[in-house]
Amino acid sequence: MNRIALIPAYQPEEKLPALAEELTELGFMTIVIDDGSGKDYDDIFGSTEKSAVVLRYEPNRGKGEALRHGLRYIKEHFEAPYTVVTADSDGQHRTQDIIKVSDIAAENPDSLVIGKRLLDKSSPIKSRIGNGLTRGFYHLFTGRKIYETQTGLRAFSDRQIERFLKLPGHRYEYEIDMMLVASDIDIIETEIKTVYFNNNANTHFRPIEDTVSLNKEFFRYKIPSVISAAFDYLLFVLFYLLSGVLLTSNVKARILSMALKYLLNRNVFFAEKATAVRYLITSIIVIILDTLALWGLSAIGVNVYIAKLLSGVLMICVSILIRKIFMTIQFRK
C-alpha cells in the first residue's frame, strides 16, 4: 500500500526540506502545500522540491484549504489503496511517529488515526488550554471521549478522502470538522511525542481568534438537529390543527423533519456521517418511541403541545443512546 505524507506549510522554517527528504527516503510520497508564503520563502520551497512535490498558490488561504488542496491532488493523481498522513511543517512531529500512525491507518482503513500528545506542564499553556476546551466540547456534542482533538498528525486511508474533501473550514477549524465528521467511525488514538521549539513561539495559531473559531464548529455541527427539531414541532402543530389526529400528525411531522435533517447533514453542513441504513433504523425507532411517549403523556392529561416538547427532549436522549449502541457494535467487530 502506498504511503503519502501531506504537509501544509505557511512561511516554514529551514527544517522543512530536511523533513521532506527524510520522509521520501523512508518510502513516503511527500506532498507539500505552500499556503501563500510569499517570495521570501522561495528558497525553502525550492530546496523542498528536490525530494517532494510542492504545490503553490497565492494568497494565504489557511491550513484547512491547504489540506483540502492536497487531498484533491492526491485523489486525482494516486490510485487506491493508499494511506495519507498529515503532518506539520515545523518538525514538531517525529518521523517515527509519522510512520507509526501511517502503519495503524493501513491496518485500519475505515478509521481515523490521530497522534495523541500528552500535554503536561512542559507543554505550551495555549496548547493545554485550547485542547482542554475542544476536548470538553467534543465529548458534550458527540458523546465520545477523545483526549487529543487538535493534533496535526493524523492518518487515514483513501476510503476517507471523499468525506474530508466535502468539509468546510479554511483555517484550523477544518481539523475540528474532520473530527466531527469522523465521530461515527472508529477514531484510534496513539501516543506520540511532540517536539516544541522555543515554546512553540513560531506557531501561526492565533490563541483567541482560532480557539473561538474551533469551538464554534461544535455549535455549527448541531445546526441540522436544531432546524429539524423546530421543523418537526411546527409541522406537528400544523397537522394537528388541520386534522385533530394526534398519532398520524406526529408520524408525518417526524418523517419529514428527519428527512430534512438527513439532507442538511449530507448536502449542506457535512458529508452524512451515518450510513443511510443506520439513519433509517434510528429514525424508525425514534418515530415509534416518540409517538408512544406523546400518546402516553396526552393520555394522562398533559397538554398536547407541551407533551410534544417533552417527548422531543426524551427523544434526544434516546437518539444519543442508540448512537452509542451502534458505535459499540461497530467497534467490537
- 197-230 per-position pLDDT tens digit: 454 445 555 555 555 555 566 667 777 888 899 9
Percentage of the chain lying above the pLDDT 70 cut: 76
The predicted-structure confidence for 232-241, as pLDDT tens digits, reads as follows 999 999 999 9
What pLDDT score does 214 carry? 55
What's the predicted TM-score (pTM) here? 0.68
What pLDDT score does 254 carry? 92
What pLDDT score does 197 carry? 47
How far is Cα 247 from Cα 264, in angstroms, rounded to an integer? 26
| All domains of the chain in start order, with CATH | 2-221 (3.90.550.10), 223-331 (no CATH)
The predicted-structure confidence for 116-163, as pLDDT tens digits, reads as follows 877 655 555 555 666 666 766 666 667 677 777 778 899 999 998 988
The predicted-structure confidence for 259-295, as pLDDT tens digits, reads as follows 888 888 766 555 444 566 777 888 888 899 999 999 9
How far is Cα 166 from Cα 178, in angstroms, rounded to an integer? 10
What pLDDT score does 128 carry? 60
pLDDT of residue 315 exceeding 90: no
Q: Are strands 154-157 and 82-86 parallel, antiparallel or unpaired?
A: antiparallel
